[in-house]
Structure 1
């Protein structure tokens, strides 16, 4: 008996010790309490959502059931229609040209006012249209910039080609004049000096033989005309013809475009 009493006393002591340690205030205990409270709140929210969902579902089911059910004579509106000669399933109107089925019910969800959805739709369409206009304007600007670049590039190429043709004409003029023992050029810029030619850079430097009075194209036109009249020579054909008749008969023309 004494042994049993001592065993029971030891068990009670260990149980009291465990309870005291478990309920001792501290961080683990506070954390467990907070977690329990949060869990309870989440459960309440879930229950409330489920309850609201079930209420909405019930309302929808009741509404669908009523809409599917035909009106009976107990309905005052239907009774008035019957007094005016209306029969179930008949179209409305004096000549029966009206609708047969009732206008469908459009349930409005949300708390926004009437016309709010239409306003949102209109604003969205305006925003989309503005975006499309901006894209179109940007595309046009890019196309214009590309066209301007192509024009500048083509103009630069044409200018360089004319400069090259002018130098070629100057060299040909100097050689052909020398063959006729002409010591001085008709115009100072008709010839190109060898020491000046060595200084030329066709890619980076401008033609130094052109004057401020005449452009490169004007110089080229004057000089090529002189070569054709004086020497029956065409720089684009690279040929000296026998006479003016031979030149006019066999040369395509007096410009670079005629030889393309």
Structure 2
């Protein structure tokens, strides 16, 4: 027999077997070790089965058993009776003394005692954050009282703002087109024309040389969207006899005054 071949009766060969019957092992030490491991595995299996069976105890039946009064031959009841306790009375001299036993709930899971409370707290916190995000998205402060009327007002305001921005963009396009036809190279006010893309602004800045130092010009006065729309429509009416609300380019100011219903959307 060569050195590389392994004796099938050697201890090394027997140690490599995962499941070996003790009757097939001649070495007493190995035989004892296998028997001990087998008994430990059987004991662990019985413990797992007992734990699973204990976890399936009917909690409702347990509470029902606890709700029944103790019999007079119960050792605990007899000890309480010796100290002056009477059936149906509370434990203690205080008027609000406990009369019912503390309830018991079977815990079948393996999580820590504080895990359920932590999960409940986490769920409540997530709900609070989700509510705050929805309020923020709707533009309502977290401390403000929410009502159906307030929500409707906010939704109406949002719709009006979207409509206002749409009208401003249309007026800007119309104003730019009419100005260019009239050989106007720059808008009278910056917001009269649609904003230029950033790439175009960067390219213009790169092609131009640094202008000579001049006095700083004051920044253009800011206007609300409603004021911008009012200025735009007024400029189109005065400069080009164009009514944005009618969508009509009138012949002159007299034709505009006689045929246009008014200056605002409501007039139309």
TM-score class normalised by the smaller sequence: 0.3 to 0.5
TM-score normalised according to structure 1 size: 0.41
**Greater helix content:** 1
